A and B are shown apart, each in its own frame.
Chain A
Amino acid sequence: MKYFALVIPALFLAVFLFAAVKKVKLYDGFAEGVREAPPLILSLFPYLAAILILSELFERSGLSAIVTGWLSPVFSFLGIPPEIGKLVLMKPFSGSGSMAMLSEILHTYGADSYIARCASCAYGSSETVFYISAVYFAGLEKKHIFTPIAVSLIANFIGVICACFFCRIL
């Protein structure tokens, strides 16, 4: 597992060296990229705030415990920690919403706990199916898009089950 730590520094070094050879202005180029960061955050922020406020209401009202209680037999059976149930259910709808939930799980259970590792892998290996379908197939007939959406949802859910399984054995 130690070698994975080398991936990112090696990647940066390789790309920066290659760019330097190609006479790319590294300082200016890097700054130009960073310039895109604040607008991206500003466009995400309203959704992050709305979801996190809702999620906090969910948590403190006790609703979350009730829903988790319903789901936990199914999820435990499949080897998914019930604590990440909300994240798994949210992911198909909203990337920023599930990102908010991931961050919360990391802080609540500790970033290196089994639950947090499952959450990280589940987040990283699934996608926002409904969001992508809305933007890719905008204006298409409904019957057209049913198959790919159903297929993707099933595939993502199996991916989550695998993620929790791999987190247990690796």
Chain B
Amino acid sequence: MNAIFAGGFAAATVLFLILDPDGFLPAMLSGGEKAALLALDLLAVYCVWLGFFKILEKSGLARKIADFCTPFAKKIFRTDDNEAVYLAACNLSANMLGLPGAPTPLGIKATRQFLARGNDNAAELLFVLNATSLQLLPTTVIALRIAAGSLSPMDILLPTLLSTLVSTAVGVVLLKAAQKLRRGRR
């Protein structure tokens, strides 16, 4: 990310120097202004959803969802390691609900557990599931659309769901194929 920032910044600044030196600072300030406005929009989004998720957590529903997912997770990850599977199930359900920030710490813990037991395939599968997005309700996108004046902010729900299903399926199939290939080579 640092290399991209430095490269992009340098390239754009050189162009400004040649073409339009007066436009440089106003452009930067306008970027800062946009950031301030976006932060306000996001604050509104997180107020609503973090409040909601806290209620979900306190009511015990969040735990119930993770418990419900655990048997499936055992099948998917092909292991009986209860602790790791429970963590993975929590991570996957937090992902599906679209909790901002919550899945990452759970996913890291589950990955460490899998790797500590030498279960590389399960760790890789958990990563691919996380990295292909399982989100059922894209809370942030919907809210940003409302903030931008959309008349039908939920319109994107179905196409998003379908394409995220495709990307997750493709990811899992490719990973399984790669793992099989690797096993064959050993």
**Which residues of A are in contact with B by a Cβ distance under 8 Å?**
1, 4-5, 7-8, 11-12, 15-16, 18-19, 22, 24, 26, 29-34, 36-38, 40-41, 44-45, 48-50, 52-63, 93-94, 97, 99-100, 102-104, 106-107, 110-112, 116-117, 120-130, 132-133, 135-137, 140, 144, 147-149, 151-152, 154-156, 158-160, 162-163, 166-167, 170
Pick the residue among B52, B126, B150, B152 that contacts A1 (CB under 8 A).
B152
Asked whether B159 lies within 8 Å of A167 as measured between CB atoms, the reply is: yes
Q: Are A155 and B16 within 8 A (Cβ)?
A: no
Is B151 at the interface (CB under 8 A from chain A)?
yes
- Are A5 and B1 in touch, CB under 8 angstroms? no
B158, CB-defined interface residue at 8 Å: yes
Produce 1/0 per residue, B125-162, CB < 8 A to A. 01110111101011011101101111111111111101
B133 x A29 contact (CB < 8 A): no
* Bound-complex Cα distance A44 to B178 (A): 35
Given contacts A53-B32, A111-B149, A159-B163, 20 further A-B contacts (CB under 8 A): A1-B152, A18-B59, A22-B58, A22-B60, A36-B50, A41-B46, A44-B39, A54-B31, A56-B27, A60-B23, A102-B141, A111-B153, A120-B160, A125-B167, A129-B131, A130-B1, A132-B127, A135-B108, A144-B120, A151-B171
Point out the residues of chain B lying under 8 angstroms from A122, CB to CB.
163
Query: Closest CB-CB distance, B151 to chain A, in whole Å?
Result: 6
Q: Which residues of B contact A99 (CB under 8 A)?
A: 38, 42, 140, 144
A35–B170 alpha-carbon span in the complex (Å): 39
Taking a contact as CB atoms under 8 Å apart, the answer to whether A158 and B166 are in contact is yes
18 residue pairs from A and B, CB less than 8 Å apart: A1-B152, A4-B158, A19-B61, A36-B54, A37-B43, A40-B50, A54-B5, A55-B31, A56-B34, A57-B31, A62-B15, A94-B1, A99-B140, A102-B141, A120-B138, A124-B156, A152-B132, A158-B166
Q: A15-B52, A30-B51 are in contact. Are A49 and B166 (CB under 8 A)?
A: no
Query: Of B11, B23, B52, B126, which is in contact with the most chain A CB atoms at under 10 Å from its CB?
Result: B52
- Please measure, in the bound complex, the distance between the C-alpha atom of A17 and the C-alpha atom of B41, giving whole angstroms: 28
Is A29's CB under 8 angstroms from B54's CB? yes
Residue from A128, A152, A158 with most neighbouring chain B CB atoms (10 Å) = A152
Q: Give chain B nearest CB distance to A92 CB in angstroms.
A: 9
